Structure formats: structure tokens, C-alpha cells
Chain A
């Protein structure tokens, strides 16, 4: 395999027809280059899309109340109702698939009038009443201090975690907000943490202008009684979130005298579904890329096979001589296949390196451009994709060599010798 005579022959045939070798090899080079570029772009799109969701737990769901659409037990249709603290307890007790449950509530004057004051500065921000679990379901980066903890909840503490944007507007860059006070709707809160979103664009902007205070504090301080705005819930490992979703909604309908068939009375959003949809979409895209890429590659490989046929024809006499002095058919066949595999793999490897190189360059450029890159993030080709591409190339090289090789040994030695 590594004998010099073998490689001498390979380079001899390639050297004899530099132009032809170049153009043939270019076919394979281009095939694998395009495959890499497309795969890298597909990966970039996928990462871009999934980064829009931040690190939100994929097994999570949200549930909120809507207007009823059916009359039931003497209640008319079109009725409004609210979740409450007892619902939270009921769900924890009755639905064993729940991992985390975070009741949430939004403070009044979320938009419009300035509701937050610190000395001379005022601003209009959303006020969120939250449990510690919320930061496990849809985590944010805690840049300073901490998130709301269990003690805050138990003691109805007047503490707040502010979004990065709130921090920037209410404090100078050189000020440390931790321990400082802000007035929210007339009540003083001590700042215990600064958080920023892991999401992108619009969603990130919203997260960053929130002020998070303990759920219980918000209920008490602003007179919400025991009302819960909506729920964020994650399912335990091994339990489908869709299942939890169905059971939670049924329980809520029962507890609030909603007709069992009134599906629209309880609103919900299932992240897992969205993830599955997205994954299916990108699996489809990547499947398409492979089909197109392999097609391009096949064209290149057929080119190699063709050129090998021409080479074999030109070398008929030489192969005849080799057989007269004792070359077995297998020696000739393996020689030709080695040659074809060498050509494909070499050209393919260059294409692979070039493709990955271009993707890396794009990646660098994107990183330079920062967050605003939008739909496209970290385009890359994974190591195992590159390796499988190489394996495909080697197999393709063997296939490209088989037909010419068989043709070469099918000729009788004497006919090969007579060939001019």
C-alpha cells in the first residue's frame, strides 16, 4: 500500500494531464465545499433560531385565564375569572408530573405613567411578582447580587431584582445599585440583584426593563389578594409537558366551574411543542442539504470515474506489460482504486478545509458584528460531520475506481499488449 512504486504510478498519471486532473478534482472539491458551506449555514440558522428562546426550559409551559366560551353550572358564557393561591397548592398536590411551578403576577401601570422613582430619576417599568422557581424555568443572567429567594417570599420582603436596562436608567455607571432603594408605585424597595436576559432582540429588551419583586410582596403591597396572574410550569424528567399541560388545564376548569369541554377558557403555551416543531424544521433543512450536497458530490465523483476510464484506456499497453511480467488482476485493480480514492480524498479534503475555513471566517465576522447578527449565529460544521464527509469521499473514490478497474482487467493481456 505504501510502496513507492504504487505512488509513483499515481503521480505519473496525474502529472501527465495536469489540466484534466485539476478540473476533475475541482468537481469533488466544489461538491464537498458547498456541502460544508450549506451544513454550516444550516447550523447557523438553527442556532440563531434557538438562541431566540434563550435558555428557557424546553419542558416548560405557561398557563393563563381567558374568557369562558360556554355556559356551565348556572354561569353564563363570556365570564372572566382569576387563578389564585389555592390553585397553586391544588396543582402541587394533584399533578405529580410537575417539577417547578412559578405563579407570576404583573403589577399595575406596566406601561404609560412613570411608576418608578429614585431621587430625581423616574421611569416606567414592568413590575413582576415572582417566585424563585421562575429563574429556574426561564433563567436570566444574574449580573450582580441574587434573584428572589424563599425568605423573600416567606417574609413578604420589600426587595427587588432589576433588569439591566432599569439599572442603566436609574443609576450612574459608577454607582452600585445593590442595597440602594427605589420607590415603586409609592412603596420603597431595596435592590438585591441585577439581571439581564439570555434571549435576543425584542424579548431581551422586555426582560431587561422588568423589575422582579417577591410574588407574595406584590400581592400584599398592591392589594391583589390571592390572585395569580399566570403560571410557568416545568414537567419532571420522564413526564411529558403536554401531559402536565392537559391535566393542569382540566384541574383549573374543574376548580373554576368551567365547562370541561371549554378548551378556550384556559390559555396555554407549550415550549416543548415549539421546540419540536423547530427541530423538525431544521432536521428537514439539514436532510435537504445532505441530499443536494451528496448530489453535487456525486457529479464530481462521476467526473473522476470518467477521467479514470480515459486514463485506463491510455495506459492499456502499460497495463498489458505489467500483466505480462506477472501483475495479478488484483494488483492492477487496487492500483486504480487507490488512485481514484487518492484523487477524491485529496480534492475532497481541500474542499473540506476550504469550506470549514470560510465558515470560520464568517463566524469571526459575525462575532465582530456582535449581537445584531439576528437570524444567524455561530455557523459551524461539527467534527463528526466532517469525518463522515471524508468517509463518504473515500467510499465514493472506491466506487469511482471500480468500473475503470474492472474494465482494465477485463481485457486479455495479449490484447492490452497489442494496443497502440
Chain B
């Protein structure tokens, strides 16, 4: 029931950062429902808690209060081993700074999540090659990350996020380090991925990038201030286009 309706279900989520005697209340009761196959962007001013929210969704960080259900699995306080299994099987991460392993070549980087699933080297390299091919990077399989452009690195990171066939892709400013042209290429790829039914959440500052998604969530003062869908998104897109002219 819940599973089919909600990929991500948040209710009354709170998060504070405690540093020494100071406590910073960042998320002040987030309620959010994201259905399977949605393509959502999270916006908000710097320091509004976008990354904090995404990290909690990615089970990289814990929350203080509320409920979080991911693909029907209640995400509560759990062992790091279990969390790792969820991350490996349900979630694919894409980072602003790509976060490729520097001493592994493109192919090995893409194959790495499968290594943690104990899939044989032959099998995982074969699969990694397929995903690299889908990203149009088959010829770059044996190149090291420092021999690749930012766009190529991000496409490899996307391939790595996809290889374990996750239900959700979480991307924190995936285009933040790329020029406009390359950003659009990466977004095209993400749209394709979304078209295959994978739920995607991205954090972004750029309106034109947000406009390419189907839903925009705006954070302000630790709560969701705006939640704009579909047609409305198109309107914004046109506005952005008009502004560009």
C-alpha cells in the first residue's frame, strides 16, 4: 500500500546539529511524499538544509525526530552494516565533486558497488562496461579519473550510481561543478534514467536545472516553503526562458 504510493515518505522530520554547547536546528518538521518515478529538485538558499535533508534520505546521517520510510522500509536507527546494505541496494549517489576513487580507472569505479555485493570480477566488469557504454564512455573505460573532464567524471559517477539498480538516485548539486553545456548533457542523462522509472532527487541552485525536473521543493527556515508540480514547473521554465532572452 504505502510502498506503491510512496518511494520516499517523511513525516515530521527534525534534525539539529550539536557543536559543543550550541545546537543548530536545521530541519524543523519536514513532511514529504515522493512517488516512484518522480524527478524532484530541492532548492533553497545556502544553509537552508538541502544537503542535510539529502544526507538523511541517503542514510548517510541520522535524524532526531519523525518518521522516514524508503521504498517501504522504515529507516530507523540501525547497524552500519544494514545501512550499508540499504545504500548499496536502494540508493545511488551522485556528488557535486564526483567522488571517484582516484587510483581506480573508469571501469573499476563503475564496478565498485558490485564488488561490495561480492559479484565476480568478470561479471561486474562486464556490467560496468554496459553502463559506461550507455553513458557513451566505452572508449574511456581504462582511463584514470584525472584524465577525464568534469562532464565525463560525472557521467561515470552516474553509471556507478546506476549499476546496482537502485530505486532512488540522490544527487547533491550534480551540475554544480560543470559549465552550462555539460550541465545540460548530464541532465539529459538523468532524464533518460528517470524515464526508465527510477526516482531522482537533485539539490540545485540553478533555476534552469530545476526547471528540467517535474517537481520543485523549496526549503526555507527548516520547513518546506513551496512544493511546485508538473505544469507549474513548465511555467517556471518559460519564465526562466523569458528571463534568459
Contacts and interface: CB of A to CB of B under 8 A. Distances in A.
Nearest to B56: A414
A409 B84 CA distance: 12
Nearest to A11: B103
Interface in B70-125: 80-81, 83-85, 87-89, 93, 95, 99, 101-104, 108, 112-113, 115-117, 121
Contacts of B89: 326
B164 interface: yes
B98 to A, nearest CB: 10
Given A324-B58, A326-B89, A326-B117, A417 B84 contact: no
A414 B55 contact: yes
B228 interface: no
Interface in A320-379: 321-331
Classify the interface of chain A: helix, strand, loop or mixed.
helix
Given A413-B60, A414-B55, A326 B87 contact: yes
A3 B81 contact: no
A323 B88 CA distance: 9
Interface string A268-308: 00000000000000000000000000000000000000000
Contacts of A414: 55, 60-61
Q: Which of A321, A327, A330 has the most CB of B within 10 A?
A: A321
A5 B115 contact: yes
B61 A324 contact: no
B116 A327 contact: yes
Interface in B151-176: 160-161, 164
Nearest to B120: A3
Contacts of A318: 101-102
Nearest to A327: B116
Interface in A1-36: 3-5, 8-9, 12
Given A324-B60, A325-B160, A326-B85, A4 B121 contact: yes
B121 A3 contact: yes
Contact of A326 (B61, B84, B95): B84
B108 A328 contact: no
A326 B88 contact: yes
A191 B80 CA distance: 89
A73 interface: no
B103 A326 contact: no
Contact of B93 (A3, A12, A325, A331): A325
Interface string A238-272: 00000000000000000000000000000000000
B81 A328 contact: yes
Contacts of A12: 103
Contacts of A4: 121
Contacts of A326: 84-85, 87-89, 113, 116-117, 164
A323 B99 CA distance: 12
Interface residues of A, number: 24
A325 B116 contact: yes
Contacts of A8: 103-104, 108
A8 B164 CA distance: 22
Contacts of A3: 115, 121
A72 B61 CA distance: 99
Q: Which of B58, B116, B160 has the most CB of A within 10 A?
A: B116
Contacts of B103: 8-9, 12
A321 B115 CA distance: 14
A412 interface: yes
B188 to A, nearest CB: 23
Given A329-B80, A417-B60, A324 B87 contact: yes
A316 to B, nearest CB: 13
A325 B88 contact: yes
Contacts of B95: 417
A127 to B, nearest CB: 83
Nearest to B102: A318
A5 B118 CA distance: 11
B101 A327 contact: no
Contact of A327 (B58, B60, B84, B108): B84
B87 A325 contact: yes
A8 B111 CA distance: 14
Q: Which of A4, A8, A318, A325 has the most CB of B within 10 A?
A: A325
B80 A409 contact: yes
Interface string B57-75: 0101100000000000000
In the A-B complex, the 6 residue pairs with the closest CB atoms: A326-B88, A414-B60, A328-B84, A12-B103, A414-B61, A326-B116
Given A4-B121, A329-B84, A414-B55, 11 more contacts: A317-B99, A322-B112, A324-B58, A324-B87, A325-B160, A326-B84, A326-B85, A328-B80, A413-B83, A417-B60, A417-B95
20 contacts: A5-B104, A5-B112, A9-B103, A12-B103, A318-B101, A321-B99, A324-B58, A324-B99, A325-B88, A325-B164, A326-B85, A326-B88, A327-B84, A328-B84, A328-B85, A329-B81, A331-B116, A414-B55, A414-B60, A414-B61
